[in-house]
Structure 1
């Protein structure tokens, strides 16, 4: 029963549905995308209730406080009861706003863009990336 009380961080992140597979959770830990108090943690680290983990998944960054231990993967409604998402609102909105960027599209049959069109497209993309803060220093 003592072994049942221990839970690895990779299995926990998989069980609460942060990552789709346990392998992805393990690779994220090994790559340094899961942190505790600013320090990278190994996939075998034991989860403790009350700890806050910083998880980077693509451009999404989350802060998760452990409220319970889930040893098996459950449905999403149940999984939410085992953690508290304490990500600051400005980080949450920054992530969501990147999906509302204007989409570039060209009508079918118009051919390739001219050199002038290409420059305008590049300028538009550069301006959008600067607005979203892509050129700032990141944690990774």
Structure 2
């Protein structure tokens, strides 16, 4: 028989949104987890259909609980237990090329310094 509610820190760990249960508890304490639009404590109950938002690695994940789990399961089963509504990540901006001079080439000339500055975007 499936439970009617589960602790939010336990559920986050069980569906593999965080690596450890301690990390889930720490995220709750730090205010990185919201449940039904409000900040959640680690022991807050999650029910089927609840929206859970968690900030992990500088990115906010938005998920809907479709099934409740107490124990950690495989990634395939965990994916079936939630609906991921996280918006796609914005495209990365390319960094300018790193300029390296050969060792022993001496100091750059004024012209080479201007070229290097242009490459670095200055």
Q: How high is the TM-score relative to the length of structure 2?
A: 0.75
Aligned residue in 2 for 1:63: 62
Please give the root-mean-square deviation of Cα atoms over the aligned residues, in Å.
3.1
Larger relative contact order (CA 8 Å, sep ≥ 6)? 2
**Displacement after TM superposition at 1:110 (Å):** 5.2
Gaps of 5+ in 1: 125-140
Partner of 2:94: 101
* Alignment size in residue pairs: 114
- Which is richer in strand? 2
Question: Which runs of 5 or more residues in structure 2 are unaligned?
Answer: none
Q: Can you list the C-alpha shifts for 1:80-121, whole angstroms capped at 9, x where unaligned?
A: 011000123xxx132xx23x633653437459xx99757974
**Equivalent residues in 2 for 1:38-57, closer than 5 Å:** 38-57=37-56
- 1:120 to 1:81, Cα distance in 2 relative to 1, 3 A: same
What is the alpha-carbon distance in structure 1 between the residues aligned to residue 47 and residue 57 of structure 2? 25
Equivalence for 2:21: 22
- CA change 1:107–1:78 in 2 (3 A) is same
- Distance in 1 separating the partners of 2:117 and 2:26: 38
Q: Secondary structure of the residue that 2:73 maps to in structure 1? A: coil
* Partners of 2:117 and 2:27 in 1: CA distance: 37
